[in-house]
Structure 1
């Protein structure tokens, strides 16, 4: 999975851009990053959003224990990698059908908290039990939400592209190519 968002949406922490000895950050524009990903992952599907923002999903090299999926519901995009252990409980809690996937559950949990109360985003993750990482983008609100499980079992990296865009992926080779040395694993949730 891969997501690139302009710096007005994806506000990377200042630590990712701090200068360091021998640290090279300038490796690619969002368009170059997309082309590199497309050339490495011929089965990838791209979701182009406004202002050069995009999400991409590939099943190549996917770990069968941590499958990847993408769902778009009501202009909310969610790429999910991993597995939730309490899907039945969460489906009942949010009134979802038995066919609801993990990504659908994450979107519904986000929507409920966004629409009904001013809860912090960690309330969404608190209910999720399993091994996972996800990238959620609400295009109506221009809100980006990233998370990993508490143990950091499923990879998720973030970094800065040469134009200041935020780059997020589960592939260490992609993030290294896209961001040089200006990346780090996303902190566990």
Structure 2
């Protein structure tokens, strides 16, 4: 699965630019389409406005990590892997037994979109299994990306020469598009282009980028990890609205 969006929509983290090597190899969005079609001959490319696009392929798909896509109401959702509590989620969201994992993800997103304010981590942490997904709401321009807690499904993201965001489960394609300006998408995290990168297990703590240096002291990569020493500023919650925050706190730590 692959998503490529211009800077105005993708709004990628600035830290992805930190690696200073390989910038000359970065490709344009049209170049990336050509790369995808050469490496994924069976791929389906979904063209969006302004040369933004998403792509899905069954190339090298394994039974333990199936891939599926759904397009409904101008919402595009691609998922790799599988949810382990699909039956429970179908019942919770009032979906039919025929609803696929991708359909469940779309319904989860609609809850966030239509019942705001609603913390995104509160619904994503209910997803169990090995999965990574990319969702784009073409009507609102919302991009939503998530990866399971253990990082069982491969997912990478990077930034191109023109600032576009690339998110893909294939490291070769990500490197072809972004050179060294790419990184693993952090496990247990969600990214929304309007609010940035957060952890759905520890939503009150900052997800920080750490630069990796080579033997010559040059930045050759970056890793994103939850910084349990940096608590994000938040408005105190009362009543049932505080439950999700309390559950998200680090075990054994007193809430502030």
The bucket for the TM-score relative to the shorter chain is over 0.9
- Return the match for 1:24 from 17, 22, 25: 22
Rounded Cα–Cα distance in structure 1 between residues aligned with 2:88 and 2:106: 16
With 66-75 and 118-127 compared, the bigger mean Cα shift is at 118-127
How many residues are treated as equivalent by the alignment? 187
- 1:15 maps to 15
Rounded Cα–Cα distance in structure 2 between residues aligned with 1:79 and 1:19: 28
Residues 19 and 181 of structure 2 are in contact (CA less than 8 Å); yes or no, is this contact kept in structure 1? no
Rounded Cα–Cα distance in structure 1 between residues aligned with 2:73 and 2:2: 21
Rounded Cα–Cα distance in structure 1 between residues aligned with 2:27 and 2:110: 33
- 2:247 maps to none
Q: When the two structures are superposed, what TM-score results if normalisation uses the length of structure 2?
A: 0.71
- Structure 2 unaligned spans of 5+: 189-256
- 2:172 maps to 173
Larger Rg: 2
- Post-superposition offset of 1:113: 2.0
* 1:153 correspondence with 2:152: yes
Counterparts in 2 of 1:97-136, with a 5 A limit?
A: 97-136=96-135
Rounded Cα–Cα distance in structure 1 between residues aligned with 2:157 and 2:23: 13
- Post-superposition offset of 1:19: 4.7
Equivalent residue of 1:135, what SS? strand
* CA offsets 1:66-119 (integer angstroms, 9 cap, x no match): 111110111111010001000000000000000101110000011012101212
Residues 25 and 160 of structure 1 are in contact (CA less than 8 Å); yes or no, is this contact kept in structure 2? no
Residues 7 and 164 of structure 1 are in contact (CA less than 8 Å); yes or no, is this contact kept in structure 2? yes
| Structure having the larger proportion of residues in strand | 2
- Structure 1 unaligned spans of 5+: none
Counterparts in 2 of 1:52-63, with a 5 A limit?
A: 52-63=51-62
Rounded Cα–Cα distance in structure 2 between residues aligned with 1:117 and 1:178: 35
Higher relative contact order (CA 8 A, sep 6+): 1
- Post-superposition offset of 1:155: 0.7
Q: CA RMSD in A?
A: 1.0
Equivalent residue of 2:82, what SS? strand
- 1:70 maps to 69
Equivalent residue of 1:51, what SS? helix
- Post-superposition offset of 1:42: 0.8
- 1:44 maps to 43
Runs of 4+ with >6 A deviation: none
